[in-house]
Every structure is written in structure tokens, then in C-alpha cells.
Amino acid sequence: MGHRDADGPDKAPHGLGPLYVKAPVMLHSVDATGCLLAVNDRWLENLGYAREDVLGRFLGDFFTEASKVEYMRNLACFVREGRISELPYTMLSKDGRPIDILLSSVGEYDGHGRFVRSLAAIEDITMRRQAEQALAASEELFRMAFESANEGLCILSPEGRFLRANEALCEFLGYPAEELATMTAFELTHPDDRVSSARLVARAVSGEVEHFRFEKRYFHASGRVIWGRVSARLVRDAAGSPRYIISHILDVTESRRNAGKIALHTKTLEVLLRLGRMREAGLSQLGTYALSQAVALTGSADGLIALFEPARETFRLLAAHPGALSAFGMPPGAQSFDARRIEPFSTAWLSQQPVISNTPPTVPEAQSLPWRSLVVPVEGEGENRLLIVVIDKDEPYDDADVHRLILLGEGVLGHVKDRARERDLERARKQAEAASRAKSGFLANMSHEIRTPLSGIIGLTQMTLSQTPRPEVREHLELILDSSRSLLAIVNDILDFSKIEAGKMEFSPVDFDLREILDRTMKPFHFSSRQKGLRLSLRIAQELPDILHGDPDRIMQVVRNLVGNALKFTDKGEVAVEFRLLRPGDPMLVECSVRDTGIGIPEERLPELFQVFSQLESSRTKRYGGTGLGLAISRRLVEMMGGTIGVRSRPGQGSVFSFTVSLRPAQEECSEAGGSRSEAPSGGFAGLTVLLAEDNQVNRLFLKHFLSEAGCEVRLAGSGGEALAQLQNGPVDLVLMDIQMPEMDGTEATKRIRAGEAGEANKGLPVVALTAYSMKGDRERFLSAGLDDYVSKPVDVDELFMVMRRVLDRRGGLPAQLVVSDSPMDMAYYEERGKSAFAREICRMFLDESPRTEESLAVAIRTGDWQRAAEAAHTLLGMSVPLRAGGLVDRARRLQEASLAGNAAGCREAGQRVIEELEKVRAAIRDMLQ
């Protein structure tokens, strides 16, 4: 007691001082009754108490009940013996948290041997206990997962000995765990896989890889071969030495078998596909291929395949192996056999069921037959039948083999059937081709027979219009011209529809001037719009290039259909045509829209518009004409040019039809399209000698008229033979050759010209075809015959002059002997005909009347009165044609078209050019009259 007083109840044991208080472990001191004499800071910190709360209290009060009882039992022994070492207890912190400890203590005694106090150290092992418990749980979880896994797991020594194996692996290999423990994995490995297995383990041991995966074969305890997919990892000890291999083995025997089946199935499909493609092969070649594959797919050694011949009731061998012939008693080189006389052929044939033999024959007379054989009869349509036989397979034949042979047989019989069908189809094809040729011939002849008189009507009408008729006569003639063109449009629609339906529609992409070709296309519609009092306008976006690459004829065909319809269904207001660029680039996307203020279309009728023969009016008393083909043809043409066509409409307010086409930029830097504006005006061919070979008198009449008006000297021929004779009589500069003529047609005549029958000097003569044919192949036929170009009938005079100019330009321009006058008029025409006095009279009249017309035109341009400008242009046209003032005629016509279209900028530009040309003509007249 005195010693305790000396130290004090809250003091460290004598001699320890600060070392005791600040020690990093839990320290305390108790008396003989177990009451606390001293504790250090770590003790208080770990348990969460203050010093005054613990000194003097029984140490067991800070233990769990079980540990307290145990401590009280051990206390007396400790006081007596003076030492305890690492006794486990569980203490409770102030907040009730259990703390696992190990208590070690020594006792201090006085001189009489009485216990004074203890010096104790406590080790907190809570974390260690938790780790041990977690490890134990983990080991138990591993054991449970290892043992209960559905797939094989094992632990192998680096040498491959089984250290541990789960139940699934034992079941996979067929051995109990105890027996596996005496074996190595290499002992159970198939010999073909041992080297690769050992190589992988060696790579893992050497450190090259840690994890490896492969598939290998094992021997099951029953002796059968099984497949396992092995996934293994080498585990090393702390020193880095190989310790053991953890291996996962998945049973893939069935999947391997299935893969084999799939591979065989795939091979079968490949064989059938190739067999199906052998359309050109003969029966013998088909039989040889089918037999080789029948043997390969079933794993057989030999076989034969034979086709039933009903007429002789025998089988003709398509292919056979000598071994198969010998096995069934047939001589080498046999060509046929009677199935009824050979077993098992007879059984299979009569029952029409496969016969499978997988056991040795028991009948003595059948001892020579193969042990394993498969005979499969295959039945096709009608009397088409096959017999396929294979023999000597290593394994038994089964239903899968039967199925494969049936598929092969059906493939061969399919060809047999196809041969018969092809013969029938060939006969049908020839009949269809003959019908198609007859149809094409009919359409070509119809085109020729209709276009030829139409060409005459249109040509004579144009000729008469050019002679400045009285206003009422001009109106009648323009009506005739308009009606003729309407009839021509109907004929063209029927022919185009026939060509589209037959897949013979041609497209000829070339470089073309969009503005120039639109100018020509819109020209015929100005009369119709003027008759109905409608405003017809054309707008082309500035960003659109001048020269484009595409098929201008087909594009303008769609434009004509849409504009014609718009004018037809519009009684007042306007029709506006607009071209704009939707997407630049190569190719670019161009849109054309045609807007009208006409009757509009009910929404429910819109889907019918682009259908063949569909019309909004179907009664016999319908107000508007048409065949119902125009929009359907337009849709097909636009789609074939990579575009779309559509419509927006409201009844009573009008419609907007629009379509897009894919076009490319100009393909040549200096294309013909760029020069297409340089059409020869009247008088542009002065002195040119033209041979016109045309059998139709009407066409000869108007063509001669316009050619003469243009300054040409015209010679006439009524057949190809006459044309050849004319060429031998004297030189000409160009030939216009009708294609269909009596005695000798234009194609044959051109061939003879090129052959030199009209003289060597004429072999390279420019020849332009005049043709009413428009079917696919006609263009190629004409050009291959040596023709330079062609113009379709009905002949458009402007187009004819343009083609003539193009052909002559290709040949180096106008002949050198032609003298082209710089005068704005062609007075030589009258002088050559002895009409100089008449020419002077009309010139004086022009000088008297033209100033009033010029003044009216100037006022119209200044005030923006485009109707008045159109009238002035019309008057100038009537005055300038007799003068043969080609430049003035051309510019007045352009002014008239711009005025009727309401194109203000175009009117001002064209009007200024008319006034400039008008002054040139008047100056030339004054010089002539002086």
C-alpha cells in the first residue's frame, strides 16, 4: 500500500514515467484484486474513456461478460504465479464497440513476497481477427464454388499432376478424384495434342505468358475421345517460382460435333449452290460432279449415279466408280443397268425408299456385297428419277447421309427439268422477239407514215407564214401549225410510252446551252398564250451555269408537257416557268417549276396525276383534250434522269408542278453547246449548193423554199439512186438525205457515197439524214452508215439550219468558194432572179414605214409597255422577212418572245439591238438606192 501511495493512483509505475504514459501500445497496472492502478494514454484513446473514469475500477468491467468471467478465473493464478502471456479477451469501448485483444502481464512483489501490482500490455488484434475471419470465409466460398461449379476446375502442379479436382471435372473425365490425384493431365491428353499442350505450359513457366487458352482432346475413362476448352493461369510464390496451375476445363465435345455437322452442312450447301450454277454443263458433267460430292459428303469410298430412262425402263449411268460397278456385279465401262435385277437396287426402286446396310450380309449369295452401302432413289417431276449409290463408309450410314444424297439428286433433276423448261422458254423467247420486232417495225412505220405528212403540213404552213400573209390568214395558219404540233405531240407520247414500256428509251447526254434551248422550247407556246390572253414568263436563276451536261431533248420534253398542260388548264392570269439551282457541285441538282393560275386540282385526285392514261376528266364531253400519257411519261423520264417530280395545287387557285434533274457541268471547255446560238439566219448559207434527196413532194416543196430563202442553191432527187446520179453530174456542198425512199433508201445511198460510187471527191461529203424514224437504235444505225448527223421529221427549219451549220463547222466551216456578204440584207437573191426593181420598191417602202415602227418601239421600251413592244416586233418581222434581212429578223423575233414573256430586262436588251440593226439595214438600203 505504501508503494501504491508513493506512486499515486494516477501515476505511472515507479521508474517508468513519461515512457509509460506515451507508449504506443495499451498499458495498464492492476492490484491483487484486479483494480486499475494506472493506464497510459493509448489505453484511454482506444477505449474512449477519461482517466478519472477508469482508475480504481475492476479491469473486468471493461470486458464482455464472457471475457470478464474468464479474466476473474485467471486472476488468482496470475497473482500467485506473476505471469500471463497473450491471453485472448474481448474488451468493450465506451461506445460499446468490441475490441479483440491479447493480454500479457507480469507481477511485482515486495520483500515479503506479497503481490504489489502488475505491469500489463494489451495488443489490439481486432483487425487481425477480422482479416482471419474474412480469409476463412473466402476460403470457404472458394471451396464451395470450386466443388459445386458446373464446369471442370482443377489445380495442377507445374509438372501437370492433379493436386485437386472438382466433381464436374471428375464427371467430365470419368475418374474419381482419388484416382485423378495419382495421374497427370498429359496422361489423359490425346497424343495429337500433347506437344501443343506441353509447349503452352513451357511458355507459361518461362514467363512468356501467364494465361493461356486452347482446345484439346482427352481420353475419357471409357476410352472415347472428348473435347475440352482449357483456360489456365500459372500462379507463382513470393520468390517468383512456379507454384501451381489453376485450370478451367469446359466440355465442348458436343459443340465440336455440332461444328463438324455445321461444317458438313455448309459444305453441302456450297456443293448445292455450285451444282445449281452448272447451267451450261451436260448431264455427264453434272453426274460426275454430283457423284464426287456424294462420296465426299458421306465419307464413302465409291459410288454411282444413274438416270431412269422410261422408254427402255433401264437406268443410264451418268457416272460410276469401278469399285461400285464391281461391288454390284457390273462390268467395267457399263453404260446402263436394269435395277430390278440387282439387289439392293431392286428393293429401293420398287419401294421408293432408301436402303441402308450397315452390317455384314448373312445370306451366302450376298457375301460379295459391300458391308456398308446406301442406295437412295430420288423422284422428280413426271418420270424424272435418279438412283444414287455409295459404299464402304468407315462409320455406319445414317439419315443425314440419306438427306444429303436426296438433295444432290434433286439438284441434278432440277437441271434435267430446267433443260426441258429452257427449251420451252427458248421457243417462247423467239416468239416474243418476233412479236417485239413486229411491234418495233410497226411503230417505226407508223412514226414514218404519220410524221411524213405532218412534216409537210407544218413545213408548208411555216413557208406560207414566212411570206407575210394578211393578218386573218396568218391567224388561220398559226392555228393549223398549233394543231399540227398538238397531233405530233400525241404521236410522240404514244411512241415514247411504247419505248419506255419496252425499256428502249434512250438518253444522249451532251453539253447544251440551257438558256438557248429554253428559248427555242418556249417559242411555240407564245402563240397559244397570246391567243388565250395569258402572260407566259421564263426565269432562269443567275447561279445556273450557261452550259450544262445532260440530255436536253428529254429535259425539254418534260418542260413542254408541263407548260402545255399549264396553258391548257389556265383561262386567265399567267404561266410562270422557273429554273433554279438546288445543289451545286458535280453532279448538280437543278429544279424546274411551272406555276399557273388555272383551275387547280382537288387534293384527292393528286395521286392519280402521274399514272398512265389518268385524266381529271373522263367523260366524253370533257372540256380539255389529251391522251393522259404526258405526265406519266414525264415522271418516268425524270426518274430515269435521277430526279423526282411533284405537284402542289389548290382548286380555283392554280398549281405548281416541279421536277428535279441531276446534271453535270460542261464536259468540254469549248463545246458545241456554247456555239449553238450561232444558228444560220436567212441568207446565212448564200451560195451553198445542197442536194435534197426526198421522195415526198410536199416536203420537197417547203424544204426547197426555206433552203432557197437561206441563200442555198437546191438540187432535187427523188430516191437514193437519183442522188448518186446527181452527185456525178456536178459538185455539191452538202446532202440532205431522206432515209425511207423507193428503189434505194438513204442509208444505202450514203454507204455507196462513202464507198466512192458517187466519185472519189464526194466520199467525205457532209450528209445529214432527214428521218421520221425515232426508235431505239435508229441513231446508231444512221451514224454507222456514214451519215454525219440527222434531223427528225417534222423538220424544224431552225433546227435544220443549226445541224447544217454544225456539220459544216465540223468539216472545217463553210466551203471556201462561198462568199458571205457583210450586208445586213441578201439582195443577191432578187438580182439572180431578175427582180431588182421589186427589191428596190420594198426597200423604199421599208424606209418610209420603219421610222414609225421604231418610234413606237422606243416609246414602248421607255414606258414599259411590253404588249406594244410585241406588236412593234411583229410589224418589224413582217417588214424584214421580204428584205431577207436575217439579222433583223432574228433580233425582232427575240424581242417578240421577250415581250410576250414579260421579261423587262430581256425586252430592253433586245429592243436596243433591234434599233441598232434597224439602222444598219436602213443605211444599207440608202447605199443601194444611191
Q: Tens digits of per-residue pLDDT, 392-416?
A: 887 789 888 898 888 888 888 888 8
Pairing of strands 734-738, 689-693: parallel
Q: Over 50: is that where the pLDDT of 683 sits?
A: no
pLDDT confidence of 680, banded at 50, 70, 90? very low
Query: What is the amino acid identity at position 637?
Result: L
pLDDT the model gives residue 820: 47
Element (H, E) at 90: strand 83-92
φ, ψ at 100 (rounded to 5°): -80, 130
Question: Lowest-pLDDT range, 154-158, 366-370, 727-731?
Answer: 366-370
Q: Over 90: is that where the pLDDT of 259 sits?
A: no
pLDDT the model gives residue 744: 86
Angle, helices 886-901/866-883, rounded to nearest 10 degrees: 160
Q: Considering the chain, what is the average pLDDT of its residues?
A: 82
Q: Over 50: is that where the pLDDT of 619 sits?
A: no
pLDDT the model gives residue 684: 60
Gap between the Cα atoms of 885 and 907, Å rounded: 20
pLDDT the model gives residue 54: 93
Q: Over 70: is that where the pLDDT of 678 sits?
A: no
Query: CB of 248 within 8 A of CB of 231?
Result: yes
**Cell representation of residue 366:** 450376298
Pairing of strands 535-540, 689-693: unpaired
Q: Where do the domains of the chain lie, and which CATH numbers do they carry?
A: 28-127 (3.30.450.20), 149-258 (3.30.450.20), 279-426 (3.30.450.40), 534-610+624-631+638-665 (3.30.565.10), 689-810 (3.40.50.2300), 827-929 (1.20.120.160)
Return left, alpha or beta for 513; rule: phi > 0 is left, psi -120 to 50 is alpha, else beta. beta
pLDDT the model gives residue 12: 63
Gap between the Cα atoms of 805 and 416, Å rounded: 62
Gap between the Cα atoms of 428 and 434, Å rounded: 10
pLDDT confidence of 695, banded at 50, 70, 90? confident
- The pTM is what? 0.40
pLDDT the model gives residue 679: 40
| Candidate ranges 56-60, 343-347, 459-463, 471-475; pick with highest mean pLDDT | 56-60
Pairing of strands 355-357, 767-771: unpaired
**172-218 pLDDT, tens digit each:** 899 998 999 899 988 999 998 999 888 988 888 888 888 889 899 99
Gap between the Cα atoms of 589 and 283, Å rounded: 55
**Cell representation of residue 444:** 417505226
Give all strands of the β-sheet with 115-124 in edge-to-edge order.
Answer: 36-39, 26-30, 115-124, 98-109, 83-92
Of how many residues is the chain composed? 930
pLDDT the model gives residue 321: 92
Distance in angstroms between the alpha carbons of the first and the last residue of the chain: 167
Using alpha carbons, list the distances in angstroms from residue 212 to 159, 166, 187, 248: 16, 20, 20, 11
Q: Over 90: is that where the pLDDT of 883 sits?
A: no
355 or 424, which is more confident: 355
pLDDT the model gives residue 362: 52
Q: What is the mean pLDDT of residues 144-155?
A: 82
Gap between the Cα atoms of 891 and 886, Å rounded: 9
Using alpha carbons, list the distances in angstroms from residue 262 to 215, 400, 776: 18, 12, 52
Rg (CA), the chain: 55
Q: Is 915 exposed, middle or buried (0-12, 13-18, 19+ CB in 10 A)?
A: middle
**811-860 pLDDT, tens digit each:** 765 564 454 456 787 776 666 656 677 778 778 888 888 888 888 888 88
Q: Over 70: is that where the pLDDT of 670 sits?
A: no
Q: What is the mean pLDDT of residues 642-667?
A: 89
Q: How many other CB atoms sit within 10 Å of the CB of residue 496?
A: 21
Question: Lowest-pLDDT range, 22-36, 489-503, 869-883?
Answer: 489-503
**Cell representation of residue 183:** 495421374
pLDDT the model gives residue 443: 64
Q: What is the mean pLDDT of residues 134-150?
A: 76
Q: What percent of the chain has pLDDT over 70?
A: 85
Residue 742: is the preceding peptide bond cis (ω within 30°)? no
pLDDT the model gives residue 499: 63
pLDDT the model gives residue 770: 86
686 or 734, which is more confident: 734
Which residues make Cβ contacts (< 8 Å) with residue 165, sequence separation at least 6?
A: 152, 153, 154, 155, 177, 180, 181
pLDDT the model gives residue 614: 54
Q: Over 70: is that where the pLDDT of 150 sits?
A: yes
Q: Over 90: is that where the pLDDT of 91 sits?
A: yes
Q: Can you list the alpha helix ranges (DSSP code H) found in 617-769?
A: 630-640, 697-709, 720-729, 746-755
